[in-house]
Amino acid sequence: MHLSENALTVLKKRYFRKNETGECLEDWQALITRVANNIAGSNEDDFKKFYELLDSGDFLPNSPTLMNAGGDLQQLSACFVLPIDDSMDSIFETVKNAALIHKSGGGTGFSFSRLREANARVRSTNGVSSGPISFMKVFNSATDAVKQGGTRRGANMAILNVDHPQILDFITCKRDPNELTNFNISVGITERFMQAVADNTDYDLVSPHTGKVADRISAAMVFELIVEMAHKNGEPGIVFLDRINAMNPTPAIGAIESTNPCGEQPLLPNEACNLGSINLATMILDGDVDWERLTKVIRDSVDFLDKVIDCSRFPLESIEKMVKANRKIGLGIMGWADLLYQLKIPYNSEEAIELAERIMETIDFEAKKRSMELAMIHGSFPNFEKSIYATGELIREGKPWAELISDIRKNGIRNATHTTIAPTGTISMIADTSSGIEPQFSLVYVKNVMDTEKLLYVNKWFEAALEEWGLLNQDLLEEVSQSGSANHISDLPQELKDVFQTAHDISPQWHIRMQAAFQKYTDNAVSKTINFPNSASIADIREAYILAYKLGCKGVTVYRDGSRDNQVLSVGTGSPVKESFEKKVAPRQRPEITHGITQRLETGCGHMYVTINTDTHGACEVFVQMGKVGGCASAQLEAIARLSSLALRSSIRIEAIIRQLKGIRCQSPMWHKGKMITSCGDAVGQALENFLSLHANKELKSLHISMDGESISTDDVTRPMAATCPDCGSAIEHLEGCLKCPSCGWSKC
């Protein structure tokens, strides 16, 4: 496999073994030799097969397998679900176990639905419960404290059933983006709830501790709140739990309550899954899908993933027992958008939907067929007799399926699940292809290579098409890099625009239809982000959720571009190389006369007086004085005030300044009017927050910005750019239910 520059960067940073001084001890051949040798064991034929499979770029396993196979850790699974019961022992045992999993490079999912609601009585202490959300904060803090060796960060999924008495608090628990930063959250939706939404009726909220009805509320109101919050910042997602459990391969073992962090892997408590993805972009022969090559890769990939189960060292004995009892694997895909580019098929077309179903049905069929053959050699998974395979409840339509299902009932099957479409994050960067089933996010993106240098990275299939049409030139690429899309380029033929669609060129309805097409033949679920433009309405989000439900999706994650507060506005005129990177934000001039208020706050260092002044645009400056404090402390307070003033006059949202200051701690916290002031910086943040409560600051709602003294109205502003990567400063993409940097491989999950 040819490794791109980006692939080598990712491999050197996150995958190659290093010595004590940080020097790489491996190259690509050494890495895949290590992995193939570890998974194959002493079987020389398997080693050769697995080495060729990895080196071809046709298949890659999930990151923990690439990182840990053949090492001391030997933890090869990416995703886990842990149980949480309604007791302190269970809660904090799970906190500990989650920390062990995060340390080993895995992500964790939890259902908090068994925890009694806040203020419910706790008989053993004669007190009251603090509720599931308070314990989510405990898990979040524990995740912050655990480092994962610099390779993967901790990620969690929290699910709360829609009939939990605290569901309204859960839906809004991430209204502040600084809260629960290590969690994705999803509401567990039932068929009964969706029917109540359709009928516009109330439904029961049931206390998990007593099993009694705690309240009845409007289903439509709850659904609308979910939609409003998703419109605001992309969370919560929704997970159709009844639908997931209808496809639970081992219902006699237990009900599925949660998923892994990106939602594509529903799992029983104490279960893990090994994932891998086939690169569809390499499955091309004479202008069509190479079905023979695809079938061989499917079979070899199933062999690989099944062996990973036996090679993996699990962080907990309870997990190892459950994993080996069900032997779940999740074979998925990447490179779907790049396959369509090569076949000249628009993503938003009936032809693409039909091809998606055909490809995924082939993967699912051949994976199950190979799993049955492995069962004939090595035996079925231990819980086979309690599964839908033995009882004949596995339903797939068509004669070939009927014959295969009959053979499975007779011969057994090695794995309880076989297919999952997971986020491919960094492994798609290694394979130099598009992520999962997502459209390409951008045809041309800008990579920050040094403080003053920006490089344009171009999708190779788009570049080849431009060259074929005689249109490849730097000016055109810079124009495309402005938004990442070619749709607005007047000089391009419509044929190219139709084929080279990007995430924001495609309507949410087509995103959902594509997810549903792949879900039809996927055992587990599909990780995908439904992208919306910034202008999308709440009604647009609502319609998407309803459509996903109607089309058979198992869950939905939406993202309205620019809805996260940590994003910045980009200018929609001219070249991004000339404007977005060369122009800097300059503060507006301070007027001769300002008006303001002064607040007194008690801090551990003494009485603090914070003055906040306004001009015609809103808050414009902050002054801080504190008693007799002098020296370094006084200088630091003046620095906080000056920087806050600079930010305000540069049209930084005041909420963003508050989030940076609030919560900073020093050794002398102090109570003030029922609130804890944890430091002088925290006091300034609280003063700014009080100011917001006292004044409906119209300036905060304005989209007007100033760049080099030039006023720019909302008419000149296009969609917001993505947040910047914390590692390299490049723009981050929102896809596959997570955040990903296309430049260096950083991922939030």
What Rg, from alpha-carbon coordinates, does the chain have? Answer: 27
Buried b (16+ CB within 10 A) or exposed e, 431-456: bbbbbbbbbbbbbbbbbbeeeeebee
Please name every residue paired with 606 in a beta bridge, in sequence order, or none if there are none.
603
Catalytic position from the list 79, 173, 262, 605: 262
Handedness of CA 240, 326, 249, 552 (dihedral sign): positive
Phi and psi, residue 588, nearest 5°: -70, 155
Please name every residue paired with 609 in a beta bridge, in sequence order, or none if there are none.
600, 625
- 245 catalytic residue (yes or no): no
DSSP labels, 25-55: ---HHHHHHHHHHHHHTT-HHHHHHHHHHHH
What residue spans of 107-206 are helical by DSSP H? 132-145, 167-171, 191-199
Alpha-carbon gap, residue 384 to 723, rounded angstroms: 46
Catalytic position from the list 117, 235, 264, 736: 264
Which residues fall within 8 angstroms of residue 10, CB to CB, at 6 or more apart? 426, 429, 430, 744, 745
* CA 264 vs CA 19, 273, 291, 348, 694: distances in Å: 35, 11, 26, 22, 44
Nearest to 563 by CA among 235, 262, 239: 235
Residues 24 and 16 sit within 8 Å (Cβ to Cβ): yes
| Tokens representing residue 168 in the block | 């309204």
Residues 528 and 437 sit within 8 Å (Cβ to Cβ): yes
Burial class (CB in 10 A: 0-12, 13-18, 19+), 38: buried
Alpha-carbon gap, residue 243 to 310, rounded angstroms: 30
Catalytic position from the list 260, 270, 383, 448: 260
Alpha-carbon gap, residue 527 to 557, rounded angstroms: 8
Handedness of CA 185, 191, 195, 201 (dihedral sign): negative
Residues 420 and 522 sit within 8 Å (Cβ to Cβ): yes
- 749 catalytic residue (yes or no): no
The three-state secondary structure class of 332 is strand
- Number of other residues whose CB lies within 10 A of the CB of residue 532: 25
Alpha-carbon gap, residue 328 to 665, rounded angstroms: 45
Nearest to 667 by CA among 609, 625, 604: 604
DSSP labels, 142-168: HHHH---TTT----EEEEEETTSTTHH
- Number of other residues whose CB lies within 10 A of the CB of residue 521: 20
Phi and psi, residue 18, nearest 5°: -130, 160
Which element (helix H / strand E) includes 79?
strand 79-82
Residues 655 and 565 sit within 8 Å (Cβ to Cβ): yes
Phi and psi, residue 421, nearest 5°: -105, 100
- 262 catalytic residue (yes or no): yes
Phi and psi, residue 259, nearest 5°: -130, 175
Give the residue numbers marked as catalytic. Answer: 260, 262, 264
